[in-house]
Structure 1
Amino acid sequence: MQLKWLNSLIQVTPQQWDALFCNDDKNADNPFCRHAFLLALEQGGSVGAGGAKHHSGWYSQHLTLWQDDVLLAAVPGYIKSHSYGEYLFDWQIADAYRQYQLPYYPKWIAAIPFTPVTGPRLGVLSSNLTDSLLPHICAALKQRLGAQDFCSVQWLYNSAQLQQNLTGQGFLARHDVQFLWQNAGYRQFDDFLQQLDGRKRKQLRKERSRTAGFRIKTLHGNELSAAHWQAVIRCYQATYVKRSGHQGYISPQSFMALADTMPGNIVVFAAFAGASEDEMIAAALCFKSSDTLYGRYWGALIDAEHLHFELCYYQGIEYCISQGLRYFDAGAQGEHKLKRGFEPVLRYGSYLFADTPLSSAITAYFQQETAHLQAYRTAAMQALPYKKI
């Protein structure tokens, strides 16, 4: 058995990689772990690959285990020189390191870039290999941590089971809260509304009515023309420039690579100012699996709060109902999702830091943070708009 670090996914075939991440019922079609998704980020320059310097601060460093020429296991990994684009943020810890004049970067993370979606972070050729291979992977990570190749190891948005297994390997457990809409077998949007209390139901209908002046259209990946994609990218970049002063994490080249390689996983909810297809003024780009819709990238050329709610939430809920999808994961953060029926759920991360004077404080911080998040989740459940039974 041989361990190899890969600085680009071109070093493995799609068949080799996808055989690890698409071989069980639960994760068989998770779009973000697929070779096509990760390679699109590399080849489009959204992350750095091949050891080249790149402005994004993400550098591909995938961990793989081989038996002769057979790929047994892999972890999508990246060397980071900052903490942007992760969403399970560690800014407080980075600040503490800076105050103590300790190096915090580079760090290695097992994650999907710019994608706070729970999914497999350890792909194995057969699930019965997990228990035997994970110690080898953790030993390799600890060896590089000891050699000061990086200052910490972080697994972000992994499964609860993997977090438990990593805790057994000496990693610290960390948590986050996200909001998830769940389909209770609704036949139409009004069935969902009927489960809300009267005041919230009235509010949602009022918000939807305020977008009546726009033409709303659902476009699947194979229906998106080059002009559509250019409009989606313009909307995405315009919103990022206004919000963050840059044009967003995903490059136009990466978007177009995704358009070419993953059209079956892409859904866009778009708003048009008029009858022409050239008048797209807002768009929410989503990905889908067999049971989940994932809201990923939003953008608009105008300032329209209710249009955001319509495209990012209500159109997605309607789509899940019409397509029989069980879940709608609309992205990280956003307490405003609560009043629109998205329930608070726990998410998971695992961390290992080089030993420093801050080690015990970090352990205590994670424990306090988890207790706070669990209390917050309990309180948030009480704020859901559903009728009390």
Structure 2
Amino acid sequence: MRNGVWKWRLVDDISQIPAAQWDEVMQPDTPFNCHSFLLALEQSGCVSADTGWLPMHLALYQHDELVALLPLYRKFHSYGEYVFDWAWVDAYEKYQLAYYPKLVTAVPFTPATGARLGIKVGIDQNTVLSLVEQVLQNELAEHSSWHGLFLTASEFAAWQQAHQRVAPLAAAESSTHQARLLSREGCQYHWHNRDYQTFDDFLAELTSSKRKNIRKERRQVAAWDYRWRSGNEISTAVWQRFFLCYRMTYLKRSGHGGYLNQAFFQSLSERMSDSVKLLLVCADGDADEEAVACALYFHTATGDTLYGRYWGCLAEYDGLHFETCYYRGIDYCIEHQLSCFNAGAQGEHKVLRGFEPVKTYSLHLIAEPAFEQAISEFCLTEIQQNQRYMQQLLDALPYKQMS
């Protein structure tokens, strides 16, 4: 591909690309694919060769002008991705083949749908998609696979269409195996704002039993003092308290202290102060740094989605998780007239509290032909199962008009 028009390089440190250039090309549609967030992950050491996430971002140039970017990581494990491929790892090990290293395009530790391929305005999307896939196909000589995770529906479709156009030609021109682009689907649970003016407006849309249950849950924890703090209002002491809550909760649930460190969280105040929203739960009269629970949210000034990411508490209080991570987020969306609340991955219990199933998408290139067909069949079966599962969730929604 390196010719007089098109060139590419793999960048092992996002700071090598100026923030303004990255954001101009990436056109971030979430807080998580902007330069500041990804830089914070790298400079804090959360993303590095030592943690099994080696940055090698793909930068594409036309006449020496940066026109496209694909966040890319060389992975030596499958942790922190949330599109699970452990069964594939087991299959490779059974036949004594190496599954790692692999390539992953995703936001590390962040299962939020967003644009994965940034293309500068005015550059032909189909051309870029074809060139980027060519680079990825070439990289499969040294990696077992490539995984593009949590793509938007439109980007997912564009990748598929581009692959269908160029794959036959690439296969005819190449003497090596050209991997097929395999699709996977998953499910998350998002809350949607239907022009509610108050939380009671939202409750009025629910069946009587679910409405009563939510009111009961909120009464249980009404005595706590809930405080929103923006990034520039969060002191070092408060970040220390948040990190303590985060680590303790991770240790209780998973046996390790979490993927992220205090340096990462604290850098968000400096790099993304306008987007960071920290909810503190305190006893009346206590200082912020004495919070018993915390939840970290993200909301950009131009975005219409609230993202709930990380939660932690120092002790177990009935109903406090639901209040802090769900109901207060819904309150925030109603107050700020945001259309969507993405409260993180997993959690079927969200459905009974008004969160609706939303399909997620990922794409995969498998280098080994012998496994490609088996994995393709696995993905097709999984898609069918996911469709049935999502229908069951839709049937269980607590809204009166859907019951």
Aligned match for 1:303, one of 316, 334, 337: 316
Q: Distance in 1 between matches of 2:123 and 2:15?
A: 27
Is 2:286 the partner of 1:276? Answer: yes
Q: Distance in 2 between matches of 1:377 and 1:245?
A: 30
Q: Distance in 2 between matches of 1:305 and 1:286?
A: 21
Q: Distance in 2 between matches of 1:91 and 1:282?
A: 33
Q: Distance in 1 between matches of 2:299 and 2:123?
A: 28
1:1-389 alignment runs, 5 A limit = 1-22=6-27, 27=28, 29-48=29-48, 53-54=49-50, 56-126=51-121, 128-145=123-140, 147=141, 149-168=142-161, 169=163, 170-277=180-287, 278-289=289-300, 290-388=303-401
Cα-to-partner distance string for 1:213-253 (whole Å, 9 max, x where unaligned)? 32111222222222221111111111112222222111111
Question: Which TM-score applies when normalising by structure 2?
Answer: 0.91
With 225-234 and 202-211 compared, the bigger mean Cα shift is at 225-234
- Residue 399 of structure 2 aligns to a residue in which SS? coil
- Residue 36 of structure 1 aligns to a residue in which SS? helix
Partner of 2:172: none
Alpha-carbon shift at residue 69 of structure 1 (Å)? 4.1
- Residue 221 of structure 2 aligns to a residue in which SS? coil
- Residue 302 of structure 1 aligns to a residue in which SS? coil
Q: Distance in 2 between matches of 1:164 and 1:183?
A: 26
Alpha-carbon shift at residue 212 of structure 1 (Å)? 2.2
Q: Distance in 2 between matches of 1:231 and 1:69?
A: 47
One-letter amino acid matched to 2:337? G
One-letter amino acid matched to 1:164? A
- Residue 227 of structure 2 aligns to a residue in which SS? strand
Q: Distance in 2 between matches of 1:218 and 1:363?
A: 46
One-letter amino acid matched to 1:196? L
Unpaired segments of 5 or more residues in structure 2? 1-5, 164-179
Q: Distance in 2 between matches of 1:229 and 1:198?
A: 40
Alpha-carbon shift at residue 167 of structure 1 (Å)? 2.6
Q: Distance in 2 between matches of 1:222 and 1:336?
A: 33
With 35-44 and 59-68 compared, the bigger mean Cα shift is at 59-68
Contact 2:7-2:64 within 8 A present in 1 as well: no
Q: Distance in 2 between matches of 1:275 and 1:66?
A: 56
Alpha-carbon shift at residue 206 of structure 1 (Å)? 0.6
Cα-to-partner distance string for 1:260-279 (whole Å, 9 max, x where unaligned)? 01011011121113412132
Alpha-carbon shift at residue 128 of structure 1 (Å)? 4.4
Change (3 A) 1:152 1:383: same
Q: Distance in 1 between matches of 2:318 and 2:86?
A: 29
With 89-98 and 178-187 compared, the bigger mean Cα shift is at 89-98
One-letter amino acid matched to 2:233? E
With 218-227 and 114-123 compared, the bigger mean Cα shift is at 218-227
With 110-119 and 234-243 compared, the bigger mean Cα shift is at 234-243
One-letter amino acid matched to 2:152? S
One-letter amino acid matched to 2:18? T
Runs of 4+ in 1 over 4 A off after TM superposition: none
With 333-342 and 157-166 compared, the bigger mean Cα shift is at 157-166
- Residue 65 of structure 1 aligns to a residue in which SS? strand
Q: Distance in 2 between matches of 1:339 and 1:307?
A: 16
Q: Distance in 1 between matches of 2:374 and 2:318?
A: 41
Q: Distance in 2 between matches of 1:69 and 1:304?
A: 57
Q: Distance in 2 between matches of 1:295 and 1:21?
A: 22
Unpaired segments of 5 or more residues in structure 1? none
Cα-to-partner distance string for 1:288-318 (whole Å, 9 max, x where unaligned)? 1320000101111111241110110000000
Q: Distance in 2 between matches of 1:330 and 1:127?
A: 34
Change (3 A) 1:95 1:305: farther
Q: Distance in 1 between matches of 2:106 and 2:95?
A: 27
Alpha-carbon shift at residue 47 of structure 1 (Å)? 0.4
Q: Distance in 1 between matches of 2:93 and 2:38?
A: 32
- Residue 292 of structure 2 aligns to a residue in which SS? strand
Alpha-carbon shift at residue 153 of structure 1 (Å)? 0.4
Q: Distance in 1 between matches of 2:33 and 2:122?
A: 16
Change (3 A) 1:80 1:127: farther
With 263-272 and 68-77 compared, the bigger mean Cα shift is at 68-77
Q: Distance in 2 between matches of 1:127 and 1:102?
A: 43
One-letter amino acid matched to 1:365? F
